[in-house]
Amino acid sequence: MPHPFDETATNNTMTHETTYNPKRLLELAVLDAYGLLEPIESDLFNRSFHDAPAAIQDEIKLLQEDLALDTSLLPTDMPPLSLRKKVLDAVAETADKEAQRLAPLALIGARASAAQAKFGSSKQDALWRTAAIVLFGISVVLGVITLDVQRKSNQNAKIAINTSTNNALFKMAGSEFVKYVGNPYCQVFRLERKDGNANGYLRVAVNERFGNGYVIGIDLEDNEEIIIQGTTQSGVTFELTRITADSPIVGREFDLDPSLVAGMTITAIDAKTGKRWV
């Protein structure tokens, strides 16, 4: 494949562009593949990718795949065999914690499906039968089996969340929320706590055409007050709205000047501690 960047460099900053020409798109594709784009640039790259002709999209996919598979300059060390179990245990442990944390949410409007998932499968029946036999003779194995069943139940609860939480969200977040879901004029920002605390989610939908928006917070800390901020392309930061976590799901609609929306960055800050969401 010919080298895509043999031409001389340009000094354009690319900061305020809303779409990219193919050459720049390929240039950004390299930076994206190496994880070097800031979130806002990454979003813009993704949007430009979707708007690009199919041939350019294919070229980008191929280039990024080549870069991902390139091991020529990597060390030749191989992972120790013991690492496999550590990784699988780490994922299972995180999944268990997450399922336990979200279990109350799964019950919102999903009790029936959760119960069905928990007791309805033949795999579970077999497991219980096996457990009953083992329980009869060996009390030590009881503990192990019980833990295993608990973990599988948590997994089932997670499946139930995935299939039923949407309805619950609509009920709790209010009717305003619905008009932002799947709206082609809405850009959705996913915010996570900057300090690495995995609890809680914030999603901010901004309607680029009409200038209004909606923030939804899920499973935030009790009574946590979050300020949602917007930063314009010119670097001016202002408060869009704020929410207080007085229930597992909180949401609020807000208005903003449509002329400020293009290229706006959304962040959030804890009103009490000052900790940031990005």
Partner 1 sequence: MPNEEPDYRLMRRVALGEEAAVEELYDRYCALVFKLSIQFLSNNAEAEDAVQEIFVRLWKTADRFDSRKAKLVTWVMLITRRHLIDRIRKKTVRPKQQEFTEQHEVSATESPIPSNISIDERNAHLWEALQTLSEMQRTVIERAYFQGFTLREVSRQLDAPLGTVKSALSRGLLRLRERGLKDATSI
Contact residues: partner 1, CB under 8 A? 3-5, 9-15, 27-28, 30-38, 46, 49-50, 61, 64-80, 83-84, 86-88, 90-92, 94-95, 99, 155, 158-159, 162, 198
- Smallest gap from residue 35 Cβ to partner 1 (A): 4
- Smallest gap from residue 26 Cβ to partner 1 (A): 8
Are 205 and 190 in contact by the 8 Å Cβ rule? The answer is: no
- Smallest gap from residue 240 Cβ to partner 1 (A): 24
- Smallest gap from residue 241 Cβ to partner 1 (A): 25
Q: Which CB sits closer to partner 1, 148 or 255? A: 148
Beta bridge partners of 266: 230
Positive or negative CA dihedral for 122, 127, 133, 135? negative
H or E segment at 111? helix 111-119
Q: Which CB sits closer to partner 1, 45 or 214? A: 45
Token pair belonging to 116: 């069905």
The closest alpha carbon to 177, from 168, 185, 169, belongs to 169
Q: Which CB sits closer to partner 1, 40 or 108? A: 40
Q: Which CB sits closer to partner 1, 88 or 147? A: 88
Q: Which CB sits closer to partner 1, 17 or 176? A: 17
- Kindly report the length of the chain: 278
- Smallest gap from residue 16 Cβ to partner 1 (A): 11
DSSP code, position 27: H
Q: Which CB sits closer to partner 1, 79 or 274? A: 79
- Smallest gap from residue 30 Cβ to partner 1 (A): 4
Output 216-221 pairs: Cβ under 8 A, ≥24 positions apart.
216/169, 216/173, 216/177, 216/249, 216/250, 216/251, 217/243, 217/245, 217/249, 217/250, 217/251, 218/105, 218/169, 218/248, 218/249, 219/101, 219/102, 219/105, 219/248, 219/249, 220/245, 220/250, 221/245
Token pair belonging to 134: 């083992």
Give the whole-angstrom CA distance, residue 260 versus residue 210. 11
Q: Which CB sits closer to partner 1, 66 or 257? A: 66
- Smallest gap from residue 34 Cβ to partner 1 (A): 6
Residue type, 250: V
